[in-house]
Amino acid sequence: MFLSLATSSWTLDAGARMSPPAAAAASPHDASPASILDLQRAERWCTEAGLSEAQLRSVYGHLFRRGGAFTPAALHEAGLSATSATALCDAFDGVTSRVVERVPSEGGMKLVVELPSGQRVEMALILHDHKSSGGKRCTVCVSSQVGCSRACSFCATGTMGLRANLGAAQILEQVWHARNEVPVGYEVRNVVYMGMGEPLDNFDAVVASLRGLTHQALFDLSAKHLTVSTVGASPDRIRRLADLAPKVRLALSLHSATLPLRAELIPSATSMPELTAALDYHAHKTRSGVMLEYLLIDGVNDRAEDADALAAFCADRNAAAARVTPPLSRKEARAAAGYVNLIPFNPTEAGDAHGYRTPSDAAVGAFHARLREEHGVNALVRWSSATGRDANGACGQLVTAKGGRTRLRVPRVAKSAT
């Protein structure tokens, strides 16, 4: 048993690209068993146990750089005393969740991950092959919640309601699983918070997970390769995200630039002035633009007038970026202009109930052309957003069975790095 030797908590400052949360108090996610990927909890425990920052860094270096096992013997070889190594393994697991289903798809894979509670979330791996460079990379689409309370009319996840918020470690464990599941030759480079849940509704855990993803002692990903997606129902949290994670990219699920239609698609949609004011603040604070996600639904929001309204919204965003002080450099101005991702609707039962259909390729092309050629909007059609349809793992299709709520607690996973 350890005595507390430290007078104040320390954090792993060396290698950190984001500041730790302001409060170091225990969170509601602190239920046992704990994951060693819970950086905030690991820092607290090591402080109380009298371990140094260098010793915790050696643990993470052992796991992330050398692929070592999370066992007392392995941690002792990595530099901890036998007593400290045993105590750490008693207090933490390597990971607390497990992959229970793998569904291959054209261009990627859907993973079903079971949490210690028995709840399940779905996540997606999207594989990219660059023919010109020969490079292979993977984008990991992670979930931040079990279900979602926002009930967007086109989205399968919203039919579940909100069942649970994930802790930061449970979000990080999805990326850990992805690193172990990705095919040989591919590198996990990008992480997008576009899976199950509204990330800003689980704000503290999401920000803590961003710190773990960018920390050089852990996943060591660049902040510019991380994207948090939101329906924009919490303008104040858009501002807070800009304050705490200014280099992380923001994606806004817009889907319509007019409030009546947007509220029909996204019942929790806030007023457009509130939303644009938050986006203005984000642009000023981060000196970068927002990625607009626009789901194209046949006959609903893919008409010429919808394209014109979207173009006007983009023009307002560009004008706001031009007012940023001090003035943006040419490079910053290009980044702040942002861009639009056009996403053809992926069929879901929720969408079927509203009669939603995927527009034809010709209709998608016409909408795209009107934005680019008539209005000069930087827009791309994300045909890759359909990747995973054959596994029900494409954008908007992630959902788990209702039985997941009552599943029995699973045994603790083996203490290993894999």
Looking at the predicted structure, is the pLDDT value of residue 111 above 60? yes
Q: Which of 50, 65, 93 is the C-terminal boundary of a domain?
A: 93
C-alpha pair distances (Å), 178 with each of 37, 69, 264: 14, 17, 35
Supply 194's token pair: 């576009």
Do 119 and 139 sit in the same domain of this protein? yes
Answer with the residue of higher pLDDT: 194 or 406: 194
395 is catalytic: yes
Residue 54, domain extent: 35-93
Do 183 and 69 sit in the same domain of this protein? no
Is 4 within the bounds of a domain?
A: no
Residue 275 is part of a domain; what is its CATH number?
A: 3.20.20.70
- Which SS3 state, helix, strand or coil, does residue 65 take? helix
Pairing of strands 162-165, 187-193: unpaired
* pLDDT value of residue 397: 66
Do 73 and 151 sit in the same domain of this protein? no
What is the average pLDDT across 40-65? 95
pTM recorded for the entire structure = 0.90
* pLDDT value of residue 416: 37
Write the DSSP string, 81-139: -HHHHHHHHHHEES-S-EEEEEEEETTEEEEEEE-TTS-EEEEEEEEEE-TTT--EEEE
- Which SS3 state, helix, strand or coil, does residue 228 take? strand
Do 393 and 370 sit in the same domain of this protein? yes
What is the average pLDDT across 126-137? 81
Supply 177's token pair: 């699983």
Do 210 and 357 sit in the same domain of this protein? yes
pLDDT digits (tens, 9 = 90+) for 266-305: 999 999 999 999 999 999 899 888 999 999 999 999 999 9
**CA-to-CA distance for 412 and 95, rounded, in angstroms?**
9
Is 11 within the bounds of a domain?
A: no
Do 105 and 82 sit in the same domain of this protein? no
Answer with the residue of higher pLDDT: 213 or 134: 213
Looking at the predicted structure, is the pLDDT value of residue 20 above 90? no
**CA-to-CA distance for 311 and 304, rounded, in angstroms?**
11
pLDDT band at residue 396 using 50, 70 and 90 as cut-offs? low
Is 346 within the bounds of a domain?
A: yes
Is 232 within the bounds of a domain?
A: yes
Do 203 and 290 sit in the same domain of this protein? yes
114 is catalytic: no
Do 88 and 102 sit in the same domain of this protein? no
Task: Select which of 122, 173, 198, 293 is catalytic.
Answer: 122
Amino acid symbol at 252: L
Report which of 341, 345, 299, 383 is spatially closest to residue 156, judged by C-alpha positions: 345
- Which SS3 state, helix, strand or coil, does residue 304 take? helix
Block residue for tokens 């309601």: 161
Is 25 within the bounds of a domain?
A: no
Task: Select which of 46, 89, 138, 395 is catalytic.
Answer: 395
Q: Residue 190: which residues within 8 A CB-CB, separation 6 or more?
A: 137, 138, 139, 140, 225, 226, 227
Q: Residue 329: which residues within 8 A CB-CB, separation 6 or more?
A: none
Q: Which of 67-81, 86-100, 363-377, 383-397 has the lowest mean pLDDT?
A: 383-397
Cβ atoms of 354 and 159 within 8 Å: the answer is no
Looking at the predicted structure, is the pLDDT value of residue 410 above 50? no
Do 89 and 107 sit in the same domain of this protein? no
Do 86 and 205 sit in the same domain of this protein? no
Is 20 within the bounds of a domain?
A: no
Is 418 within the bounds of a domain?
A: no
Number of domains, the chain = 2
Do 51 and 151 sit in the same domain of this protein? no
**CA-to-CA distance for 310 and 366, rounded, in angstroms?**
14
Pairing of strands 136-141, 120-129: antiparallel
Do 260 and 336 sit in the same domain of this protein? yes
pLDDT digits (tens, 9 = 90+) for 157-182: 999 999 999 999 999 999 999 999 99
